[in-house]
Structure 1
Amino acid sequence: MLKRMVLATVLLIAALLLVNQVVIPHVRRSRGHDELRQFCLQKGRETVMKAIATHGGLAAWQNKVDISFHLHDQWNSPAGAALFGWLDMWPERSVDTRQHYLLRQNTGRIEMTAAADRHVWGYRDFKPWALLNDRVDEENIARAYFTVPMINYLVELPYRFLDNGAFPEFVNEVKHDGRLYDRVRITFGLNAGNYPPDEYIADFDHLTGRLAFLEYTVREKLPGYVALRAAFENYQPFDGIWIPTQIKFHLAEPLGNLALHTWQISEVRFNTGVKESFFARIDTALGDSGQL
């Protein structure tokens, strides 16, 4: 009987030591990790809110229904020429386009204005369509599926970082060329973001709050270890909203900062009065002839 009591006492002491040395520190670390993550999420959201205020403000943005602009895209670098076929955004390496989007609705239309042939692409209700000289263009539907919502998403930043299912998390402060930036990592839940498996690293100017750099994956087109980097430059105000009129894209990983292509954005207009039928899918807009 005495031996059993001694054994039980020894086991109890061992259990208490285990709880004190292993379980309690683990719980404390877990709580500490949770508290740190909550802090980073809160600070990340505050950083995005500061950026939105700098870009024109949430109220002003919510009063905008649609956006239209001219976009010139030029893939004229050696790395851009090599990666052009992988990303497969356009039928040509240099394009001039007129673009139209219903804001916050993942709905858009692109018209290529300088091409010899008339290309028109659209995206609505998560379905793409494409026309070539007013006829259904099966060859470019996959390009429309990628290009239209991708451009739509980028031109709506940083506002889209507050979407339901987007999780902006503060990382740290970083310096580029001696200037300080607040770095925020954005991940997405299901049905959020342009492509939920992707993630974004956004650098906001510490003084102004403006979105300056964005590093992101394009897992829809490229392996996850390949990251692109966009530099948002030459901001100009259009109807109270600040828009970057130049965005330079680079290959960030794994080969370093290699120039790819550049967007030039101009003639920006909001609330143009465009109707939803302007973005109608081709399968509902075409008759039996296959023409509009």
Structure 2
Amino acid sequence: MKYLLKISLLALVLTSCQTKTKTESTVIEDVKASDITTSIYPDNVTKVFNAHGGIDNWNSMRTLSFTMTKPNGKEVTTTNLKTRAERIETPTYAMGFDGETLWVNEKGGEAYKGNARFYKGLMMYFYAMPFILGDSGIIYEETTSLTFEGKTYPGILISYESGVGESPDDQYILYYDDTTGKMAWLAYTVTFGKDEKSTDFRYIRYDDWQTINGLILPKSISWYKYEDKVPTEKRNTLVFEDIQLTNEAPDQSLFAKPESAKIID
């Protein structure tokens, strides 16, 4: 992701007048993360951030770590929130990204069978909702609401400027509770390795929250089956444990490539 903050003066004027729904992006030079305030976001996006403890509080954090229990054991993910350096530690492999080099270190002779470039940052993005949608290079638009079990949730369509991230054609829809402002659903497409946008949105429900350092973040998230672009029934739930969220930066050596690791091109 790019770290210079991108917004449009025109979009700010339109948002303040509440006459348009789309927020465009352009460059404002030399803006540090610590200078970011909620005023740069559309009102509905700010409403969601505020309901979860505030984007400014989130931007003060530097280290995020969490554990997930997978079929092959515990998977521990640690991320430098400023550089997006990451280390994923499992019983059968370790995967890391130091900001430039992506690597995988196999353990016990068992070959790594995943797609490291696709998986890098993936679970951190899902966990860090809704704040991850405050990154630079994002375009916000209002979109059709989602109705589930008789309740309607307004939607915010998230898309990316060209060249942002590994999959700039990915799209997300954040659905939120209009009364509380809290995030309720995430719809997302998968375009990694493809040359065009997708209209096949998958659905994750966010309805199990916990407070960490004043921020309301997921305790668990649930994927749902879907038909005709609407979620139907729960498919599976992933629980996050041992959450560590601090304003102290992690030791960069954590992300360094071991001699035995393979570099992923």
TM-score (norm 2): 0.73
Q: Match of 1:11?
A: none
Name the structure 2 match of 1:146: 118
For residues 173 and 80 of structure 2, the distance between their equivalents in structure 1, rounded to whole angstroms, comes to 25
Given the alignment of the two structures, is residue 210 of structure 1 paired with residue 182 of structure 2, yes or no?
yes
The corresponding residue for 1:188 is 160
Counterpart position of 1:103: 81
TM-score with structure 1 setting the length: 0.67
Q: Secondary structure at the match of 2:170?
A: coil
1:1-150 aligned within 5 A:
39-41=20-22, 45-73=42-70, 93=71, 95-112=73-90, 115=91, 118-125=92-99, 127-133=101-107, 139-140=112-113, 143-150=115-122
Task: Please report how far the alpha carbon of residue 149 of structure 1 lies from its aligned counterpart in structure 2 after TM superposition.
Answer: 1.3
2:120 is paired with a residue whose SS is helix
For the residues of structure 2 that align with 1:168 and 1:274, how far apart are their CA atoms? 31
> What RMSD over aligned residues (CA atoms) do the two structures have, in Å?
3.2
| Aligned residue number for residue 241 of structure 2 | 266
Percent identical? 20
Asked whether the equivalents of residues 159 and 171 of structure 2 are also in contact (C-alpha less than 8 Å), the reply is: yes
* Runs of 5+ consecutive residues of structure 1 not aligned to the other structure: 1-34, 74-92
Number of matched residues?
227
Flag the 1:52–1:119 CA change in 2: closer, same or farther, 3 A: same
Q: Are residue 239 (structure 1) and residue 202 (structure 2) matched?
A: no
User: One-letter code of the match for 2:60?
Assistant: N
Return the index of the structure with the highest Cα Rg. 1
Residue 179 (structure 1) aligned with residue 151 (structure 2):
yes
Q: Which structure is higher in helix share? A: 1
Greater shift in the superposed pair: 266-275 or 62-71 = 266-275
Name 1:78's counterpart in structure 2.
Answer: none
- Cα distance in 2 between the residues matched to 1:214 and 1:246: 13
Letter in 1 for 2:49: I
Q: Secondary structure in 2 aligned to 1:41?
A: coil
Q: 1:109 & 1:253 partners in 2: Cα distance?
A: 36
Structure 2, gaps ≥5 residues long: 1-13, 24-40
Equivalent position SS for 2:83: coil
- Conservation of the 8 A alpha-carbon contact between 2:93 and 2:112: no
1:230 maps to 2:227: no
The answer as to whether partners of 2:88 and 2:96 remain within 8 angstroms in 1 is: yes
